[in-house]
Amino acid sequence: MSIRPFRDIKRIETRVINVGKIKVGGNNPISVQSMTNTLTHDIKKTVNQINQISEAGADIVRVSCPDEQSTKALKDITKEVNIPIVADIHFHYKRAIEAADNGADCLRINPGNIGDKEKIKEVIEAAKNNNCSIRIGVNAGSLEHDILEKYKEPCPEALVDSAMRNIKILEDLNFKNFKISVKSSDVFLSVKSYQLLSKQTKYPLHLGITEAGSFIPGSIKSAIGLGNLLMEGIGDTIRVSLSDDPVEEVKIGNQILKSLGLRNRGVKIISCPSCARQGFEVIDTVKILEDKLSHIKEPITLSIIGCVVNGPGEAASTDIGITGGGKDSNMLYLNGIQSKKLKNNEIISKVIDLVEKKAIEIQKSQK
């Protein structure tokens, strides 16, 4: 049972590109990305972290490639993971060529920073030869000097000017398998830049509030910025940038999409903040269930409400619901209908069992 949003979000139509096996743009699902923070040339640690990020629900992972040792490591890394890899390249054109030749599915570059036209042409040829896409990554903190002189400071017009300049470089080389980002650590600057860019190009947009901060402030800034854009139909792939474990970035990114009804992946828990009316320990129960059900990928809705004030109403809209009752007597709902009473110590095990069975049912129905 899924909850239908009161207003469907109509996405702005964009071109479709391929990032490995993931299609980005058009009507394809909005993908979630993160980035490793290991030393890329430490192959074992990097592969382990990529797999953790993938298991958490990421569709694409980016790795930094500051040197030849890192780009050469991609050859082994890509053999050990099942998720598209984006190589993060800043200035050296040879690193981009090496990354494409060693298995990267996408290159994150600013063509204008790579060097003269011949160097850019070599990078594009390597991307074409290896079926490798590109992300033009414009950032308010690293705009071209002449653009900064023109606009005096980072502003939406400056970021978009840089993006359009880089778009023309790729188009002139007959390369169109790319996406674009115009990021800033400032929410308002980021939102305005993406709004302006979406009116000037149909290439898919990678959304993000860069350097958003630690877990709580960064999550809030990202939810506000990305949420505003996504509600306007802007955005084809997202990354939440946190000073935290990359796995947390993936969780927040997926939660943003879930909250807007743009993508349903895993268990969506609706829970109350708890109060003196609660029939069981709601907060502890939800924390345990979030952990124990994190492996579920199928879209399942679950309501955990501590009392009968809002419990039955929320349970009516979810696949599985628990409403707290007095004297160790709580009601289990299945598809909005009362099923049986549960004691407090039965709630967690019963819910886990029901969710796992529901996930298997969904898997079978999709075959």
pLDDT of residue 202 exceeding 70, the answer is yes
pLDDT reported for residue 265: 87
Q: Which band of pLDDT confidence, cut at 50, 70 and 90, is reported for residue 7?
A: low
Tens-place pLDDT, residues 72-119: 999 999 999 999 999 999 888 999 999 999 999 999 998 777 878 888
What would the mean pLDDT of 318-336 be, rounded to a whole number?
93
Confidence grade of residue 330 (pLDDT, cut at 50, 70, 90): very high
56-80 mean pLDDT: 97
> What's the gap between Cα 309 and its chain centre?
35
Whether 54 shows a pLDDT value over 90: the answer reads yes
Give the C-alpha separation, 208 to 102, whole Å: 27
Per CATH, the homologous superfamily of domain 17-259 is: Dihydropteroate synthase-like (3.20.20.20)
Kindly report the number of other CB atoms within 10 A of residue 272's CB atom. Answer: 21
111-143 tens-digit pLDDT: 777 878 888 899 999 999 999 999 999 999 889
- Stretch 243-249: mean pLDDT: 97
pLDDT of residue 8: 77
Q: Evaluate whether 266 touches 296 at the Cβ level (below 8 Å).
A: yes
Please provide the DSSP assignment of 25-60 as one string: STTSPPEEEEE--S-TT-HHHHHHHHHHHHHTT-SE
What's the CATH architecture for 267-365? 2-Layer Sandwich (3.30)
Sorted by where each begins, the domain ranges of the chain are: 17-259, 267-365
The pTM for the full model equals 0.90
